[in-house]
Chain A
Amino acid sequence: MADLQLDDVTKVFVEDDGNEITAVDEVSLAIDDGEFLVLVGPSGCGKSTTLRMVAGLETVSDGAIRLDGSVINDAKPAERDIAMVFQSYALYPHMTVRENMSFGLEESTSMPDEEITATVEDAATMLGIDDLLDRKPDDLSGGQQQRVALGRAIVRDPEVFLLDEPLSNLDAKLRAQMRTELQRLQEDLGVATIYVTHDQTEAMTMADKIAILNDGQLQQVGTPLECYHEPANLFVASFIGEPSMNFFDVSRDGETLVHDDFAYDLTPETASELGDHDELVLGIRPEDIELRSTQDDTHSYETFVDVVEPMGNENNVYLTFDADSTETFVATIDGLHHVEEGQSVIAHVPEDAIHIFDRASGTALRNRTLDTQTMPEPQL
Chain B
Amino acid sequence: MATTTDDKSEQTDTETGLELHRVALYGALLALVGAYLSPLYSGLTTAFKTQEAYRNTSPLQPPIEGVTIDPWLTAGSELAFAMVNSFAMVIPAAVLSALFGSLTAYGLTKVDWRGQVFVLVLFLAAVFIPYQAVLVPLRQFWSMVGLSQVHPRGELVELTITHIAYGIPICTILFRSYYQTLDSELIEAARLDGASLARIYRKIVLPLSLPMFAVTLIYQFTQVWNDFLFALVLLSNRSNYVVTLELNALQGSMATNYSVQMAGAFIAALPTILVYILFGEQFAKGQTL
- Do these two chains really belong together in a complex? yes
Q: Which residues on A are within 8 Å of B, measured CB to CB?
A: 55-57, 76-78, 82-84, 86-88, 90, 92-94, 103-104, 107-109, 152, 156
**B233: Cβ under 8 A from any A Cβ:** no
**B165: Cβ under 8 A from any A Cβ:** no
Could you list 9 A-B pairs, sorted by A, with CB under 8 Å?
A78-B193, A78-B194, A86-B185, A87-B185, A92-B189, A92-B190, A92-B204, A103-B203, A108-B194
| Number of A-B residue pairs with CB-CB distance less than 8 Å in the complex they form | 57
Interface residues on chain B, size class: 10 to 19
- Name the one of A78, A83, A94, A109 contacting B191, with C-beta atoms under 8 angstroms: A78
Contacts of A104 in B (CB 8 A): 192-194
**B195: Cβ under 8 A from any A Cβ:** yes
Contacts of B203 in A (CB 8 A): 103
Question: Other than the known A107-B195, A108-B194, what 4 A-B pairs have Cβ atoms closer than 8 Å?
Answer: A88-B183, A92-B190, A107-B193, A156-B193
> Smallest distance from the beta carbon of A342 to chain B beta carbons, Å?
42
User: Known: A86-B185, A90-B186. Is A77-B192 also a contact (CB below 8 A)?
Assistant: yes
Q: Give me the 6 closest cross-chain CB pairs, A-B, nearest first.
A: A108-B194, A78-B194, A104-B193, A90-B185, A90-B189, A107-B194
Output the residue of A84, A87, A88, A90 with the most chain B CB within 10 A: A90
Contacts of B190 in A (CB 8 A): 92, 103, 107
For residues 181 through 227 of chain B, which have their beta carbon under 8 Å from a beta carbon of chain A?
A: 183, 185-186, 188-195, 199, 203-204, 207-208
Q: Which residues on B are within 8 Å of A, measured CB to CB?
A: 183, 185-186, 188-195, 199, 203-204, 207-208
Contacts of A55 in B (CB 8 A): 188, 192
User: Known: A93-B208, A94-B208. Is A86-B194 also a contact (CB below 8 A)?
Assistant: no
Bound-complex Cα distance A34 to B120 (A): 47
User: Known: A103-B203, A107-B199. Is A57-B191 also a contact (CB below 8 A)?
Assistant: yes
> Smallest distance from the beta carbon of A367 to chain B beta carbons, Å?
40
Bound-complex Cα distance A108 to B185 (A): 18
Output the residue of B186, B193, B203, B204 with the most chain A CB within 10 A: B193
Q: Is there contact, CB below 8 Å, between B193 and A108?
A: yes
Which chain B residue lies CB-closest to A57?
Answer: B188
User: Known: A86-B185, A90-B186. Is A77-B191 also a contact (CB below 8 A)?
Assistant: yes
Which chain A residue lies CB-closest to B210?
Answer: A94
Bound-complex Cα distance A84 to B188 (A): 10
> Smallest distance from the beta carbon of B7 to chain A beta carbons, Å?
33
Contacts of A84 in B (CB 8 A): 188-189, 192
> Smallest distance from the beta carbon of B36 to chain A beta carbons, Å?
40
Contacts of A78 in B (CB 8 A): 191-195
Bound-complex Cα distance A262 to B22 (A): 75
> Smallest distance from the beta carbon of B204 to chain A beta carbons, Å?
6
Bound-complex Cα distance A107 to B190 (A): 9
Which chain A residue lies CB-closest to B185?
Answer: A90
> Smallest distance from the beta carbon of B195 to chain A beta carbons, Å?
5
